Amino acid sequence: MKRFIVTLAALATSAGTAFAASHAMAPAVEGMDQDVSGGTVTASKIDAPENGWMVVHRTDAEMKPGPVVGYAPIKMGENMDVAAILTEEVASGDMLMLMVHSEAGGMKTGVFEYTLGAKEDGPIKPDGKLVMSVITAE
């Protein structure tokens, strides 16, 4: 009887692992236009493939990431309501890019070390594409 129970447990474990692998979450950032007069910007949901950062870049109609104006740590997996404190003033109508950056490449874990164009704590790019969402400050 014990052998049968162990076999069922092993089957359930391997089936669960196969299900999880086939349904792995794709990296994503969800955000919406929002009031930033309180000095923060929030992503409603982030699915991250690794520990890292939600980085807030200035952007414009060309949709290129510009200077960093805020960041917040994120953990691997699902992150809800991630708020970054803005490090400079953002006016109503400004476009902001909420982007997932890695924790890799820096000198210190848990310290945001990225500067525009640097490799330290840089953006993740699955399939060569940035993981980001553009919002407008209200």
Q: Is residue 95 part of a domain?
A: yes
- Residue 55 β-bridge partners: 71, 99
Q: Is residue 7 part of a domain?
A: no
Give dist(CA 100, CA 98) in Å, integer: 7
Q: Is residue 80 part of a domain?
A: yes
Asked if residue 71 lies in contact with residue 54, where contact means CB atoms within 8 angstroms, the answer is yes
pLDDT, tens digit only, all 138 positions of the chain: 454 444 444 444 444 444 444 456 799 999 999 999 999 999 999 999 999 999 999 999 999 999 999 999 999 999 999 999 999 999 999 999 999 999 998 899 999 999 888 889 999 999 999 999 999 999
Q: How many distinct structural domains can be found in the chain?
A: 1
On whether the pTM is more than 0.75, the answer is yes
The CATH number of whichever domain residue 35 belongs to comes to 2.60.40
Q: For strands 40-48 and 28-30, give the pairing.
A: antiparallel
Domain region containing 36: 26-136
Q: Is residue 9 part of a domain?
A: no
